[in-house]
Structure 1
Amino acid sequence: MTTTTHSPHSSLPQTGSRPLPLRTDSDGRETRRGRFGRQVGYLLSGLPMGIAAFVLMVTGLAFGVGTLVVVLGLPVLTGTLAMARYLARVEADHIATVTGRPLPERDAAPGFAERGRWATLRDPQAWRDLVHAVLAFPVRVASFCFTLTWLVGAVGGLTYGLWSWSLPRGDNDGLLDLAYGVTGRGPDILFNTAIGVFFLLTMVPLVRGLTVAQASLGRVLLRRGDV
C-alpha cells in the first residue's frame, strides 16, 4: 500500500516567481491604461519618497557614525537601519505593483531575532537597503523631472491653441519666432502642437524605460519581507 504525503505549504500560492494578476477588459485596453497609470504614479511619487529617504538615511548615518565614540551611535545606527528596512519594504511593494513581479524574499538566518539588540547592525540586507535609499535619490529626481516634463509638454502642446491668447507678447511672436524668425499666430500654434504630439508619441516608451531603470535598482539591492 502506497501513501502519498503532501507538504503543508504545497497548497499555498507561490507568488514570488509569477507575475501578479492584472485587471483586463475584453480587448486588453484597460491593462495598458492601468499599467501606464501605475508607472506614472510610481515615478511621480518617487520624488517625495526619495527626498525623505535620502535625508533620513544620510542624517542618521552621519550622526550615528559621528557619535560611535560615545556609544550613542549604536542605537542611532540601529534606528536608521530599521527605517531603511521599512522604506525598502515600501519600495518593494511599489515595484511589485507597478511591474507585476514581486522581489525575492528577504533571507533571514535562523534565530536572527534572538541574537541581540544590535542584530540589525550585522544584517547585510539592512545596509543594502540604506545604500539603495541613497543611490535611488538621483534616479528618482531624474525620473520625476522627465515624467512631469513629458506630461506637461504633451497636454500643454496639444491644447496650446486654446490658451495661447493669454500669453503676453512683445517684439516676438512665440517660440517659433524666437528660434527661426517665423511670425504669425497660425504657425506658432502648429509648431507648439507638433511639440505636444512629439511628447505624446514618446511618452509611453519614456515612462516605461524610466520605470524599468528605477525598479531595476531596487531589484539589485532590495528584498521583500516584514520589517
Structure 2
Amino acid sequence: MTTTTNVQPASHSLSAPVAMADGSRRRGRFGREVGYLLSGLPLGIAAFTLAVTGFALGVSTLVLVIGLPVLAGTLSMTRYLARVEADHIAAVTGCPLPVRAERSAPEKEGSGSRGGRWKAVRDPQAWRELVHAVLAFPVRVVTFSLTLTWLVGGLGELTYGLWSWSIPRGGHDGLADLAFGVTGRGADIAFNTAVGVFLLATSVPVVRGLTVMQASLGRVLLRRGEL
C-alpha cells in the first residue's frame, strides 16, 4: 500500500518574515533620511561659516604673507567637512560617491615641500568642495525646516485635540475659522487633525524627495577620498 504525502509549498511560511524584513528596512531607511536632513543644518552652518570667513580672510590678505596659508587651511577644513557629507550621502542612499582622482607621482613626492603643504590651493576638487559648502547651506536650511515641519507639525496637529484648550481664543475659533469661516471647537479639532494626518501620511515621500535634493548637490560637487 502506497501513501502519498502532500508537501505544502514553503512560500506562504516565508512570506511573513520577508514582509517584516522589508518593512524594517523601509523604516530604517526613513530614519536614516530624517537623521541626514536634520543633522545637515549644523554641518552646513559650520561649513558655510568656515568657507566664507576663511575665503574672505585669505583673499584679503594675499598681499601679505598669511593669505596663502589661510586659504590652504580653509580648503583643508572644508575637505574634511566634505568627506563627512560624502559619508552621510553614501550611508543614506546606499550609493557611494565617485572616488577622487589619484594625485600624480611628482605631486606625492613633493608633499613635504612648501608647495606640498599648500597643495589644496592648487587642487580643483578642493575649490569645488568650498563651493559646495556655500551652495549647500540654503539647501540645508530648506530641507531641515520642511522635515521638521512635516514631522513635528504632523504630530502636533494629530494630537491637537489634547492641547488645543491651552490656546488663547480671541475673536475666532481657530485655524478653520480663520481659513474657511467655520466656527465651533469640533470643527477646529477636526480640521487640525486632518492636517496632521495629511502631513504624517505624506512624510515618507516628502522626506525622500528632500534627501534626493540635498544629496544631489553633493553628488555633483563632492568626491570620496583621503583627507
The size of the alignment, in residue pairs, is 204
Partner residue in 1 for 2:193? 193
User: Which structure is higher in helix share?
Assistant: 2
How far off is 1:195 after superposition?
0.6
Partner residue in 1 for 2:64? 70
Q: Paired residue for 2:29, among 26, 29, 35? A: 35
Moved more, 130-139 or 118-127: 118-127
Contact 1:25-1:31 at 8 Å conserved across structures: no
Q: Which protein is bigger by CA-based radius of gyration?
A: 2
Same amino acid, percent of matched pairs: 72
1:78 partner SS: helix
Unaligned 5+ runs, structure 1: 1-23
Q: TM-score, normalised by structure 1?
A: 0.86
Q: CA RMSD in A?
A: 1.3
Contact 1:61-1:80 at 8 Å conserved across structures: yes
Partner residue in 1 for 2:46? 52
The separation in 2 between residues aligned to 1:186 and 1:41, in whole angstroms, is 36
The separation in 2 between residues aligned to 1:56 and 1:142, in whole angstroms, is 20
Q: Does 1:110 align with 2:110?
A: no
How far off is 1:110 after superposition?
2.4
Partner residue in 2 for 1:161? 161
The separation in 1 between residues aligned to 2:66 and 2:164, in whole angstroms, is 60
Runs of 4+ in 1 over 6 A off after TM superposition: none
The separation in 1 between residues aligned to 2:85 and 2:173, in whole angstroms, is 47
The separation in 2 between residues aligned to 1:207 and 1:167, in whole angstroms, is 29
Partner residue in 1 for 2:84? 90
CA displacement 1:153-207 (0-9 Å, x = unmatched):
2101111111111111122111111222211111111000111111112211111
1:53 partner SS: helix
The separation in 2 between residues aligned to 1:181 and 1:216, in whole angstroms, is 43
Q: Does 1:124 align with 2:119?
A: no
